Amino acid sequence: MPRFMTALLAATAMGIVSANAADLPIKAPPPPLVPAVPFYTWTGFYVGAAGGYGWGRATQTDSTPFSSGRYDTNGGIIGGTLGYNWQLGPAVLGLETDLSWASISGSTIGTNPPSGTCGARHCASRIQAFGTVRGRLGYAWQNFMPYITGGLAYANVHGEEGNGGPPGAFGSGESWMAGWTVGAGIEAKFAPNWSGKIEYLYADLGSKGVFTDRIPAVGRFTENLDVTAQMVRVGVNYHF
C-alpha cells in the first residue's frame, strides 16, 4: 500500500507540472539583427587627385598705351591634392593645398582702337600651372560633407604678342602670379578610407608684368596680364 500511494502521488505531481507548463506563454524569437550604419570620421590626413575644366578672362596692357580688351580663355586642368581635416561634432575644419597642370588659354585680335590691336589673333595667354592653399569649412552628415573654401591662388602664366602689321610689336614670356580664390563643393565617403568630391572655384590672379613687348624703332615695354579663372573639378581622396 505505501508503494502504491507513493507512485500515485508522483504521477499526480508530474501531471500537475505538465499542465502548468502547457499554460505558459510561448516566448517570441528575438528580432533579426539590423546592421549598424557605418560611422565615418573626417579627421586626419588625406591625399588625392582631381581634374576638370576651367574658363576665364584675360587682358593685356602696356604703357604705350595699349589694351587688348578682355578675351575668353578655357581648357583642362589635372593634378594632386594634400590636406588635413579636424572634425568637431558635425563641423569639419580643414586645410588643403593642390597643384595642377593646366592649359586654360585664349587669344584675341584686340578690341580697343585707337590704343592698338593685336593683329592676326596673336595676343594670347595661357595658365600653364595652377595651385591653391585654402581653408575649408564643412558640415558632416553621415558620409556626406558639403563645404565652402577660400584662400591663396597662384599660377604660372604664359603671355605673347605678335602683331602682323605696324607697329610690329612682338614678345613672349611667362611668370608666376598670385591672388585669391573662393568656392564650394561636396565630398562623400564611399568606403572608410576613400571619398569622392566635386567642387567649384573662382580665382582672381590680379595683374602683373609677364613679358617684354618689343616695338621696332620705339622701344621695349612691359606687357601686363590681368587674369581670372573659374573651374569645376572632380576628384578622389584617400584618407589615412
Quick: pLDDT tens for 181-223.
Answer: 999 999 999 998 999 999 999 999 999 999 998 888 888 999 9
| Residue 23 three-state SS | helix
The percent of residues above 90 in pLDDT, for the chain, comes to 64
Per residue in 6-27, pLDDT tens? Answer: 554 454 555 544 545 445 455 6
Contact indicator for 126, 101 with CB cutoff of 8 Å = no
pLDDT, averaged across the chain: 86
Nearest to 127 by CA among 163, 73, 83: 73
Give me the mean pLDDT over the 133-151 stretch. Answer: 97
Contact indicator for 108, 71 with CB cutoff of 8 Å = yes
Task: Decide which of 120 and 57 is more confident.
Answer: 57
DSSP 8-state assignment for residue 130? E
Model pTM score: 0.81
Phi, psi of 5 (to 5 degrees): -65, -40
Per residue in 63-118, pLDDT tens? Answer: 888 888 899 999 999 999 999 999 999 999 999 999 999 999 999 886 665 556 67
